[in-house]
Amino acid sequence: MAKKVVATLKVAGSGRDWAKVIRCVKSPKTGAYSFREEMMPTEAVQGALKQ
């Protein structure tokens, strides 16, 4: 069997400096909700959630 490639974050710093933010986004076309995942620095999380 072939080995699977594991994706990694290629950024400076450790994993503790980053957080996964999951937002619920409403589609303007259908009105259905979907989830959008983002990786961002921990300092930017509070500002991103206030939007």
Count CB-CB contacts under 10 A for residue 6: 5
Q: Which residues of 32-49 are buried (b: 16+ CB within 10 A; e: fewer)?
A: eeeeeeeeeeeeeeeeee
Residue 11: its pLDDT value, please? Answer: 56
15 pLDDT more than 80: no
Residue 9: its pLDDT value, please? Answer: 57
Count CB-CB contacts under 10 A for residue 21: 14
Q: What is the H or E stretch that residue 46 is in? A: helix 45-50
Residue 6: its pLDDT value, please? Answer: 64
The model's pLDDT over 20-42, given as tens digits with 9 standing for 90+, comes to 999 999 999 999 999 999 999 98
Band of pLDDT at residue 17, cut at 50, 70 and 90: confident
